[in-house]
Amino acid sequence: MGKILVLYDSRGGNTAAMAQHVAEGAGQISGMEIRLRHVDEATIEDALWADGIGCGAPTQTGIASWKMKKYWDDIANPTWGQMDGKIGCAFSTSGGWGGGAELTCMSILTMMMNVGMLTFGVTDYTGQQFTLHYGAVSAGKPRTDAEIEAARRLGKRLAQWVATFIDGRTDQRPGPMKDRS
């Protein structure tokens, strides 16, 4: 059974709402155990438990919130070498479009890569001109169908990669199926 941690920080509830949608999306793939944790409650054990981590933070001065940065700073040393090969993705909310949410996703992905995690983006469109290449983003609370579906799609994709690479369920592999013989 794949284990997914949806880890988030949220001050006004916007990123918490997005985290809930990411968890819902991960739950669309059977056999996944999902933990939804605010960064204030999350422990090193949560990170070590997980096969995949969907990590989200509000955009603050163009990057991840200080609480999320502190979480990754605090777990980096004690988990060194143990996070290697876990699968990660990012999501963020900002005050407005063009407010830095994609930069925040990139800062989260960078923190994950620094501890050896495998990260991914999603090429899917969830609405007209609405993509989640670097992660799911929203200006404020996700309200539109495209914003909600982006968060769900991100969670589902995380669960698909965990099912494929951790559980060996190649039937769950997303993307184009190619001849692998």
Domain count, the chain: 1
In a domain, 179, yes or no: no
Instruction: Give residue-wise pLDDT tens across range 129-153.
Output: 888 899 999 999 999 999 999 999 9
In a domain, 9, yes or no: yes
Using a cut of 0.85, tell me whether the model's pTM lies above it. Answer: yes
In a domain, 139, yes or no: yes
- Per-residue b/e over 24-37, b at no fewer than 16 CB within 10 Å? bbbbebeebebbbb
In a domain, 112, yes or no: yes
Compute CA distances 35 → 22, 38, 43, 45, 116, whole Å.
Answer: 11, 10, 12, 12, 21
- Name the one residue in this structure whose structure tokens are 């979480």: 71
CATH number of the domain residue 61 falls in: 3.40.50.360
Residue 162 belongs to domain spanning: 2-172
Compute CA distances 61 → 21, 85, 181, whole Å.
Answer: 24, 30, 48
In a domain, 181, yes or no: no
Instruction: Give residue-wise pLDDT tens across range 67-104.
Output: 999 999 999 999 999 999 999 999 999 988 888 899 99
In a domain, 180, yes or no: no
